Chains A and B, each alone.
Chain A
Amino acid sequence: AQSVTQLGSHVSVSEGALVLLRCNYSSSVPPYLFWYVQYPNQGLQLLLKYTSAATLVKGINGFEAEFKKSETSFHLTKPSAHMSDAAEYFCAVSRGTALIFGKGTTLSVSS
Chain B
Amino acid sequence: GAGVSQSPSNKVTEKGKDVELRCDPISGHTALYWYRQSLGQGLEFLIYFQGNSAPDKSGLPSDRFSAERTGGSVSTLTIQRTQQEDSAVYLCASSLSSTGSYEQYFGPGTRLTVT
Q: Is B98 a contact partner of A97 (Cβ separation < 8 A)?
A: yes
Q: Is A43 a contact partner of B101 (Cβ separation < 8 A)?
A: no
Chain A residues positioned under 8 Å from B44 (CB to CB): 101
Could you name 9 residue pairs across A and B whose Cβ atoms are closer than 8 Å?
A32-B100, A34-B103, A36-B106, A43-B109, A96-B99, A98-B33, A98-B35, A99-B35, A99-B45
Chain A residues positioned under 8 Å from B103 (CB to CB): 34, 46, 49
Given A94-B100, A95-B100, A99-B104, answer yes or no on A43-B42 (Cβ-Cβ < 8 Å).
Answer: no
Answer yes or no: B43 CB below 8 A from chain A CBs: yes
Q: Is A43 a contact partner of B91 (Cβ separation < 8 A)?
A: yes
Please tell me the number of chain A residues within 8 Å of chain B, measured between CB atoms. Answer: 24
Chain B residues positioned under 8 Å from A94 (CB to CB): 100-101
Answer yes or no: B72 CB below 8 A from chain A CBs: no
Answer yes or no: B65 CB below 8 A from chain A CBs: no
Closest chain-A Cβ to B69's Cβ sits at a distance in Å of 14
Number of residue pairs spanning A and B whose beta carbons lie under 8 angstroms apart: 56
Chain B residues positioned under 8 Å from A44 (CB to CB): 91, 93, 106
Nearest A residue to B105, CB-CB: A46
Chain B residues positioned under 8 Å from A90 (CB to CB): 43
Nearest B residue to A99, CB-CB: B104
Partner of A103, one of B42, B50, B98, B104: B42
Q: How far, in angstroms, from A92 to B31 measured CA to CA in the complex?
A: 18
Q: Is B43 a contact partner of A96 (Cβ separation < 8 A)?
A: no
